Amino acid sequence: MKNYDVILFDLDGTLTDSSPGIINSIVYALKKYGISVEDTAELRKFLGPPLHESFKAFYGFDENKSMEAVAYYREYFSTKGLLENDVYKGIPDLLQKLNDKGKRLILATSKPQKFTDRIMAHFDLAKYFEFIAGSNMDGTRSKKAEVIAYALHECQITDKSKVVMIGDREHDIIGAKAVGIDSVGVEYGYGDYNELHNAGATYIVKTVDELKDMICDE
């Protein structure tokens, strides 16, 4: 692996396993429309992409209805779902090792900034990061390429050859490619090898330990 000075991390499925809270929030929102989900595993496809896009893609909601569904989602998520979440084992140690090596760490997530800041503070992860970039509550700056570009601009990073994005879904990989930076796909999150490979990930790892070996021993 080449040497990178700036490392961007996704949040959901990369630093934390947030699936219980996200899925419970989606179930809550869908119930508002009389939609019941027998097998909640079907909702794992919501993990990663911007929510309003997922409601449109998977349930045929129009723009207004999808934004309304996001508002219902947030009713549950803001009070309960936010903390139905766990940090993946080994992540704090990985982040500390990268700090010790002098790497610049940036969080880049499509989750709204308001919720992202609360999660990062709750799990004591914010201290490892130079900058935390999320989306806006109105749905703008939610595409991963937009979040990455915003983070790089705010941190005044211009040499993209020294930057890598780490994430678990194709949206992370596609966003990185759109901005012109390399990427690492992680299989321990919500995507799989085929998804990450087909999206064009520069590197793919299976576990947090494998990720640590790759980026800490470069």
Yes or no: say if 75 and 32 are a contact pair by the CB < 8 Å rule.
no
Q: How many domains are contained in the chain?
A: 2
Same domain, 57 and 98: no
166 C-beta neighbours (distance < 10 Å), count: 28
180 C-beta neighbours (distance < 10 Å), count: 13
Can you tell me the mean pLDDT for 197-208? 98
- Window from 9-13, 137-141, 192-196 with minimum mean pLDDT: 137-141
Q: Which domain holds residue 116?
A: 6-18+85-216
The answer as to whether 1 is a domain residue is no
15 by Cβ neighbours in 10 Å (0-12 / 13-18 / 19+) ranks as buried
Can you tell me the mean pLDDT for 129-135? 97
CA distance 196 to 180: 17
The answer as to whether 94 is a domain residue is yes
Same domain, 90 and 122: yes
pLDDT value at position 181? Answer: 98
Distance of CA 195 to the CA centre of its chain: 15
Q: Identify the domain boundary among 61, 83, 105.
A: 83
Give tens-digit pLDDT for 11-62: 999 999 999 999 999 999 999 999 999 999 999 999 988 899 999 999 999 9
Q: What is the chain's alpha carbon radius of gyration, rounded to the nearest angstrom? A: 17
* CATH number of domain containing 143: 3.40.50.1000
Tell me, yes or no, if 10 is annotated catalytic: yes
Active site residue: 10, 17, 168, 172, which one? 10
Quote the pTM value.
Answer: 0.92
Give tens-digit pLDDT for 150-167: 999 999 999 999 999 999
Give tens-digit pLDDT for 102-127: 999 999 999 999 999 999 999 999 99
Same domain, 63 and 122: no
